[in-house]
A and B are shown apart, each in its own frame.
Chain A
Amino acid sequence: MKYSARLMVLIFVGGAAAVFSELTNRGGRSTAIVLITLGVALGELMVLRPPHRTPIPLSYAFMLVLVRGADPWVCIGAIALAELAVLPLRDGDWAARLAQSGQHLVAGIAALTAYEALMAVDQLGPTPRLLTALAAAGVAALVVHEAAAAFTDPRWPEVGGADLALVASGMLMAIGFRGVEPGESVGLWSVGLFSIPLLAAWYSFERLALISRTSEQTIEALSVVPELAGLAPAGHAARVAELSVRVGDQMGLRRRELEDLRAAALLHHLGHLCLDAPEARERPIEPSEVSDQGAEILRQTDLAAAGDLLATDDARVGSQILRAVSAFDDLVSRDMEASEAMDALYSGPGFVYDSRVIDALDRIVASAPSV
Chain B
Amino acid sequence: MSDQRESRTTVYCVGLALAAAALGAVLGVRGPLPALTPLIALSLLHVFAENQITDLTPELGSSAGVMLCTAAIVVFRTDQSALGVLLVGAAGGLYLPHLIHRDWRKLLFNCAQFALVAVASAGVFWTIVGSGKTSPGLLLLAAIPTALTYSIGNVVLVSMAVVLSTGQRFRDVLLVGSREYFVFYPFALLGVFLGLLYLDYELALVPLFLVPLIVARQAYSSYLALKRSHEATVRILVGALEAKDPYTAGHAERVAEYAQYIGLELGIPPNRLERLRLAALMHDVGKLVVPNHLLNKPGKLTAEEFDIVRKHEDVSVEILTRIDFLAPVAPSATSEAAQFSPIADDRGQPVEPHIVAVADAYDAMTSTRSYRRALSQEIAFAELRKNSGRQFHPRVVDALIAALRRRGEVHGAGHEMYVHHVSAPSGHLGSAGLGDLLPDGEVEDDADSTVRS
Contact = CB atoms under 8 A, between A and B. Distances in A.
A186 B265 CA distance: 46
A273 interface: yes
Contacts of B196: 186
Contact of A215 (B216, B217, B230): B230
Interface string A8-51: 00000000000000000000000000000000000000000011
A168 B209 CA distance: 7
Interface string B198-234: 0011001101110111111111101100110110111
Interface stretch (B119-127, B319-327, B346-354, B434-442): B319-327
Given A184-B200, A210-B325, A194 B193 contact: yes
A204 B223 contact: yes
A214 B285 contact: no
A220 B321 CA distance: 12
Given A208-B226, A214-B324, A172 B205 contact: yes
B18 interface: no
B216 A224 contact: no
B192 to A, nearest CB: 8
Contact of B318 (A50, A169, A228, A301): A228
Given A190-B193, A228-B318, A277 B216 contact: no
A218 B323 contact: yes
A165 B285 contact: no
Contacts of B187: 196
Contact of B241 (A172, A220, A273, A280): A273
A211 B293 contact: no
A131 B319 contact: no
B243 A201 contact: no
Contact of B234 (A218, A270, A277, A300): A218
Interface in A142-176: 161-162, 164-165, 168-169, 171-172, 175-176
A276 interface: yes
Interface residues of B, number: 59
A356 interface: no
Contact of A207 (B220, B237, B243): B220
B193 A225 contact: no
Interface string A270-282: 1001101101100
**At the interface, is chain A mostly helix, strand, loop or mixed?**
helix
Contact of B215 (A131, A165, A189, A229): A165
A124 interface: no
Interface in B223-261: 223, 226-227, 229-230, 232-234, 236-237, 240-241, 243-244
A215 B226 contact: yes
A180 B244 CA distance: 70
Contact of A221 (B60, B230, B322): B322
Given A186-B193, A211-B227, A224 B215 contact: no
Contacts of B190: 193-194, 196
B288 interface: yes
Given A165-B212, A204-B216, A302-B232, A225 B319 contact: yes
B292 interface: yes
Nearest to A208: B223
Contact of A274 (B60, B200, B220, B243): B243
**At the interface, is chain B mostly helix, strand, loop or mixed?**
helix
B129 interface: no
A186 B285 CA distance: 57
Contacts of B200: 179-180, 184
B232 A196 contact: no
Interface in B24-42: none
A211 B223 contact: yes
A352 interface: no
B230 A207 contact: no
A221 B319 contact: yes
Contacts of B326: 214
Interface of B: 60, 136, 140, 186-187, 189-190, 193, 196-197, 200-201, 204-205, 207-209, 211-220, 222-223, 226-227, 229-230, 232-234, 236-237, 240-241, 243-244, 278, 285-286, 288-289, 291-293, 315, 318-320, 322-326
Given A171-B208, A211-B226, 20 more contacts: A161-B218, A168-B211, A172-B205, A172-B208, A179-B200, A189-B136, A194-B209, A197-B216, A200-B212, A200-B213, A215-B233, A220-B322, A221-B319, A221-B323, A222-B237, A222-B319, A228-B315, A229-B288, A297-B236, A301-B232
Interface of A: 50-51, 127, 131, 161-162, 164-165, 168-169, 171-172, 175-176, 179-180, 184, 186-187, 189-190, 193-194, 196-198, 200-201, 203-205, 207-208, 210-215, 217-218, 220-222, 224-225, 228-230, 270, 273-274, 276-277, 279-280, 297, 300-303
